Every structure is written in structure tokens, then in C-alpha cells.
Amino acid sequence: MGNLHGHRIVIAGAAGDIGQHVSALFSDSGATLHLLDIQDEAITREANAAVPQIASIHCCDTSRRSEVERVADRIGTVDVLIDATGIWPRDDWMAPDWDAAFDRVIDINVRGPINLVRAFLPRMVAQRYGRIVLCGSIAGWTGGLISSPHYVAAKGGIHALVRWFAQLGTPHNVCVNGVAPGPVSTRMTHDAAYDLSKFPLGRIATPQEVAHAMLFLSSPQAGYISGTIVDVNGAVHMR
Ligand SMILES: NC(=O)c1ccc[n+]([C@@H]2O[C@H](COP(=O)([O-])OP(=O)(O)OC[C@H]3O[C@@H](n4cnc5c(N)ncnc54)[C@H](O)[C@@H]3O)[C@@H](O)[C@H]2O)c1
């Protein structure tokens, strides 16, 4: 399951906590990595300093179509696309300036994944092989534990988009799936107070646990899984 030897992987959000763990795990599995993040290249490089198989690092705002297409042209055809970008502002939707926050969350959490898939999917279709894994969230199913409505709408949108992309890619042997984590111990949640007595496992997830689910969905062995969202929530929410 974990053998991605010779596979070319793009990881967006590679300076982030889940992104870093995806990068380490996929590198251990033999993949060659192309990393991108809105952070400077040096920051993404530093975040992945222990990862040996990095082919390229790109500073790229995934919410901007032209930037993503420029980077995709430089990287070329890949076998796997992982999107681990995202923001999670917790704010007051009644605030007068909230609509700007809404636009920003939708730009990054929805338009970004669309830009990535639109840039990399056609090359996968042309080679008749690909795996794409996007990041949804428990918030997209339940309305979230403490999320604001822009984030909830964005993640529900990702769950729907996975199915749309899967309809497009699967006939060409490009499997498209998502993961829907519950709370994960990353910088995104560092200031969030969770009542651990509400979690059946008595803890929130680790980023490694999310990365392992992504690795499985990215493997050649997951060739008959497409259009699904894998919950990584420790039975907090069972659909
Ligand atoms: N941490 C959680 O509890 C949790 C739960 C469910 C889903 N998720 C999702 O998992 C994904 C990764 O989250 P994380 O916890 O690793 O957060 P993180 O903040 O550690 O990482 C997010 C990364 O995305 C990058 N990024 C933000 N905007 C970008 C843009 N426009 N272009 C390129 N890169 C951009 C950031 O620089 C950062 O490196 C996100 O989609 C998040 O919504 C996280």
C-alpha cells in the first residue's frame, strides 16, 4: 500500500502541519515530491528539511489561477495531487466586514482546490493515471464544532466537488477522493479549546493519521475507490 516508488506527487500546503506529514510519509514511500505553499520557498524548505526526495519547491497562492497554472507548467505531469491548503478563521458572521472574510475563505478553501485540479487533472487524464486527494472536514458534514459559516460552506463544497471531479476523472483512471478530518493537532487548532470528554478516543487526531489516510487513497491499490470522502474523526461523527 505504501509503495509510491517512482510516483511524482504535488503537495499543496506543504509548509503546513498536515502537508509536512504528507510530505515525510510520501517521501518514505519512495515518491518524488513537488511542494507548494503560499509561504516563501525557504519556509517550505525549512518545514520539510528532513525530507530527502524533493524535486522542486514553489511559492504559489493557490487561490490565483494564473499562479497555479504557471507552477503546473513548470512541474509538468504528476501521478498524485494532494491539497492540504486551507485557512480556518473563527470570526463573527454578524460583523460589518465579515463578507470580506467570506470571500477570502472561499477563494482559498474552494477556488484554490479548483485551480489545482483544473491545472493537474488534464495531464493525468492524458497519461490515463492519477490520484487526487482533497481536504474536506467534519465541519462540512455537521456544521462544525466551533467553525464559522464560510469554512463550513467551503468544506461542504469540497465534499461535493470531490464527486464532481470524480465523475470527470474516473473514466480516465484518475481517482478523486477526499478526507474529512475531525479536529487535528496542528497550528490551525492550537488555540482551540476542545472538550476531550466528547471525543470517543479521548484526544483529537494527529496530522500523521490524516496523512496515512491520504497515502492509502494515493496508492495504486486504491484504484477502485473514487468519489468518496474518508472520515478521519475517531467516531465523533458517524455517517
Ligand atoms: N487542523 C484541523 O483540525 C483540520 C480539520 C479538518 C480539516 N483540516 C484541513 O486540513 C488542511 C490542512 O490543515 P492544517 O491543519 O495542516 O493547517 P496548517 O495551517 O498547518 O496548514 C495549511 C497550509 O496551507 C497554506 N496555505 C494557506 N493559504 C494558501 C494559499 N492561498 N495558497 C497556498 N497555500 C496556502 C498555509 O501557508 C499552510 O502552510 C486544510 O484544508 C484544513 O482545512 C484541518
Per-residue pLDDT tens over the stretch 186-226 = 999 999 999 999 999 999 999 999 999 999 999 999 999 99
Other CB atoms within 10 A of residue 111 CB: 17
Is 104 within 8 Å of 154 (Cβ atoms)?
no
119-147 mean pLDDT? 97
24, 109, 111, 141 from 157: Cα distances, Å? 28, 9, 10, 10
Residue 88 CB–ligand 1 contact under 6 Å: yes
Ramachandran class of 202: left when φ > 0, alpha when ψ lies in -120 to 50, beta otherwise: left
Mutate to test the pocket of ligand 1, among 18, 44, 152, 158 (most ligand atoms within 8 A of CB): 18
Ligand 1 centre from 2 Cα, in Å?
23
pLDDT at 53 over 70: yes
As a whole number of angstroms, the distance between CA 114 and CA 155 comes to: 13
Q: Is the pLDDT of residue 68 over 80?
A: yes
Helix axes 65-75, 112-127, angle to 10 degrees: 30
* CA separation, residue 44 to residues 11, 108, 144 (Å): 11, 18, 29
Check residue 67 and give its pLDDT. Answer: 98
Residue 151: enclosing H or E segment and its boundaries? helix 149-169
At residue 232, φ and ψ (nearest 5 deg) are: -125, 70
- For the whole prediction, is pTM greater than 0.75? yes
In this model, does residue 78 exceed pLDDT 80? yes
Confidence at residue 101, expressed as pLDDT on a 0 to 100 scale: 98
pLDDT band (50, 70, 90) for residue 3: confident
Contact indicator for 210, 18 with CB cutoff of 8 Å: yes
Spell out the SS3 assignment of 55-93: EEEEECCCCCHHHHHHHHHHHCCCCEEEECCCCCCCCCC
The mean of the pLDDT values for the chain is 97
Shortest-distance atom of ligand 1 to CA 85 = 24
pLDDT for residue 145 is more than 90: no
Q: Which atom of ligand 1 is nearest to the CA of 138?
A: 6
User: What's the rounded mean pLDDT across residues 139-160?
Assistant: 96
pLDDT at 2: 67
Residue 238's SS3 state is coil
Contact 183, 194 (CB under 8 A): yes
95-106 pLDDT, tens digit each: 999 999 999 999
| Predicted confidence (pLDDT) at residue 147 exceeds the cutoff of 70 | yes
Helix, strand, coil fractions of the chain, as percent rounded to 5: 45, 15, 35
pLDDT digits (tens, 9 = 90+) for 163-182: 999 999 999 999 999 999 99
User: What pLDDT score does 35 carry?
Assistant: 98
Of 3.50.50.60, 3.40.50.720, 3.40.50.300, 3.40.50.2300, the CATH number of 8-232 is 3.40.50.720
SS3 221: helix
pLDDT of the residue at 218: 98
pLDDT given at position 1? 58
The structural domains of the chain, with segments of one domain joined by +, span 8-232
